[in-house]
Structure 1
Amino acid sequence: MTGLSPKISTLDEAQLKVSIVKSSWHPYICDALVSGAKKALDGARCKNVSVHKVAGSFEIPLAAQKLLDAGSDLVIAIGLILKGDTPHFDYVCQGVANGIMQVSLTRNKPIGFGILMCDSLEQAHQRAGLSEGQENRGFDAAIAALSLALEYEGI
């Protein structure tokens, strides 16, 4: 899937207030995803970017809601949920995905979904752009949120 990310303009992005919310779990992976998101934001000339840590991915929807309510124009959610031997993975993944969608819809603002839900650390490593030729899902999440913010700005 390398090279398939959409391209966005760089006209007014500098005016956007962007918040990145990242899980504290799996810092090596999450830091790589944040770096990818920042690369996309830098390419779009976004200067007003802040990074906020939460304990785990389950806390991201509430943090995103608070940041949007405090004036952020968009949020990029970054985390990693690894599959284990219990159904916990399924509950957390569903709760996080539903929570992020609910916050985005009720606040009418985009949230880039950069939360990896993987069967192994190897999969996470690939999706965080840490393997040669692999795209960074943090970058992709930032592009998705920026594209939506710009396309529907003022509507």
Structure 2
Amino acid sequence: MSGQGAPSLSIDAKGAIVDVVASQWHTTIMDGLVAGALAAVERAGATARVWRVPGAFELPVVAERLARSGAEAIVCLGVVVRGGTPHFEYVCDAVTRGLTDVARCHAVAVGFGILTTDTEQQALDRAGLPGSSEDKGAEAVEAALATSALMRDITSQLG
């Protein structure tokens, strides 16, 4: 199972704002990912703003815009299911590189909640829905908030 070895993060992020950027493809899966993300934001004491984009390919440009606007934690959620063409590889590579560039170039925490699966069932298993074995929406929020807190600590200690 891909979730084995995941850290258990307990985060106090009172006052933080988390920008959740979510694609619209695969409605049931996305509803689960967004619900898991919002629940994790609430558990951490933060506030969420949700932005919807057409598909996974559009996630990096919106994340870039949010980063340029001073966002402190950005969580990107999407689903790309392998098909019979190279489209899967192109989209997954573009999204991963784009979000990595946003995080690195703007020194902003970007939670990567993009499900890249061979089948729709694999995505359902990770979507945080009833019966799902994992909640990647919540995990992406936890990772972004933990990273954001660490970056604030580094700034306060090192300048």
TM-score (ref. length: structure 2): 0.90
Take 2:24 and 2:120, find their aligned partners in 1: how far apart are those partners? 16
Take 1:73 and 1:50, find their aligned partners in 2: how far apart are those partners? 12
Take 2:4 and 2:94, find their aligned partners in 1: how far apart are those partners? 29
- What is the CA RMSD across the aligned residues, in angstroms? 1.6
TM-score (ref. length: structure 1): 0.92
1:44-123 map, 5 Å: 44-47=44-47, 49-123=48-122
Question: Which stretches in structure 2 are left out of the alignment for 5+ residues?
Answer: none
Residue matched to 1:130: 129
Q: State the Cα distance separating 1:69 from its structure 2 match.
A: 1.4
Take 2:9 and 2:103, find their aligned partners in 1: how far apart are those partners? 22
Is 1:151 the equivalent of 2:150? yes
* Cα distance change on mapping 1:19 and 1:139 into 2, 3 Å: same
Residue matched to 2:8: 6
Identity %: 35
Residue matched to 2:29: 29
Question: Which stretches in structure 1 are left out of the alignment for 5+ residues?
Answer: none
What SS class does the counterpart of residue 14 from structure 2 fall into? helix
Take 1:130 and 1:9, find their aligned partners in 2: how far apart are those partners? 22
Take 1:95 and 1:114, find their aligned partners in 2: how far apart are those partners? 15
Take 2:92 and 2:6, find their aligned partners in 1: how far apart are those partners? 25
Answer yes or no: is the 8 Å Cα contact 2:41–2:141 preserved in 1.
yes
Q: State the Cα distance separating 1:6 from its structure 2 match.
A: 2.1
